[in-house]
Amino acid sequence: MTMKKILLTGASGGVGTRLRRLLKPIYPDLLLSDLQSPAGLQADETFIPADLADAAAIEKLCAGVDGIVHLGGFSVEGPWETILNANIVGCYNLFEAARKRGVKRVVFASSNHVMGFHPRTNKIGVEAVPKPDTRYGLSKLFGEGLGALYAHKHGIGTLSIRIGNFGDQPIDERRLAIWLKPDDLVQLIRIGLEKPDLVYEVVYGMSDNKRAWWDNANALRLGYKPSGQSEDFAAAALEAQRALPKDPVGDHFQGGSPFCSQDFDNNLEALKKRL
């Protein structure tokens, strides 16, 4: 696929700030968007502010765009109205604008929190039943569904990446299982934007992690070759883990703290037996 103009939503967030610098050499015509201007915007960077909840603004933003990397939205748990407008209505507006403007590809930043209530003892692939751990995780599951709908009904090739923990290194025991090196996320994004004949795929956004809870065979099938290895940082991560408070709920489930344990009022021991 020839991808000339790429739109990066959520460009002012933590992941977006890092990605905009990593993607610029690959896609020189990179359009950035968010509610607020990114810090340190350079002269060679193009930024257009837009609210995902504003359908007309998002449709205008997508004019002339070949591919979209959709990071935009509310990135942690929040009140229902916040999640609804930013992650559900906003995501719908993005895919609908892509359809209207003839965008060829969308890379959707999903989340590991789509699967958060799977126990850490279970290794799961993309075919496992979703078990979102928050309203935020639920909204990302909705986004995956939108991607599938627009891929199959409207021909927009879509890759949903269930991002683990994005950063330079894993900083605790949980992150040893779910760490995603920035360069590896770039590789997955390029697969989503450029791989020929891609219709709709889901992959886990993780590096080569020895302690992984996820089977990322689908990403490998698509040509993914992660370079990061979380085990290189195991000693420091496990040392840092000793200083963290115990969380019976968060420590049992893949979604961790506070995603699984916030507002949790179920019977934990009974739930463990059923899962």
Q: What is the pLDDT of residue 2?
A: 82
Tokens 């591919």 label which residue? 67
Dihedral angle of Cα 87, 89, 94, 97, to the nearest 10 degrees = 180
pLDDT per residue over 17-34, tens digit each? 999 999 999 999 999 999
Q: What is the pLDDT of residue 116?
A: 98
Tokens 């994005």 label which residue? 166
Is residue 129's pLDDT more than 80? yes
| Tokens linked to 126 | 């993309």
pLDDT per residue over 92-108, tens digit each? 999 999 999 999 999 99
For residue 58, which of 67, 45, 49 has the smallest C-alpha distance? 49
Cis, bond preceding 258 (omega within 30 deg of 0)? yes
Q: Tell me if the pTM is above 0.75.
A: yes
HSE, CB side, 13 Å, CA atoms: give it for residue 200. Answer: 15
Is residue 1's pLDDT more than 80? no
Domains of the chain: 5-274 (3.40.50.720)
Q: What is the pLDDT of residue 88?
A: 98
How far is residue 180's CA from residue 239's CA, in Å, rounded to a whole number? 20
Annotation says 224 is catalytic: no
Q: Identify the active-site residue in 27, 136, 150, 204.
A: 136
Cα 173 to chain center, whole Å?
Answer: 20
Is residue 275's pLDDT more than 90? no
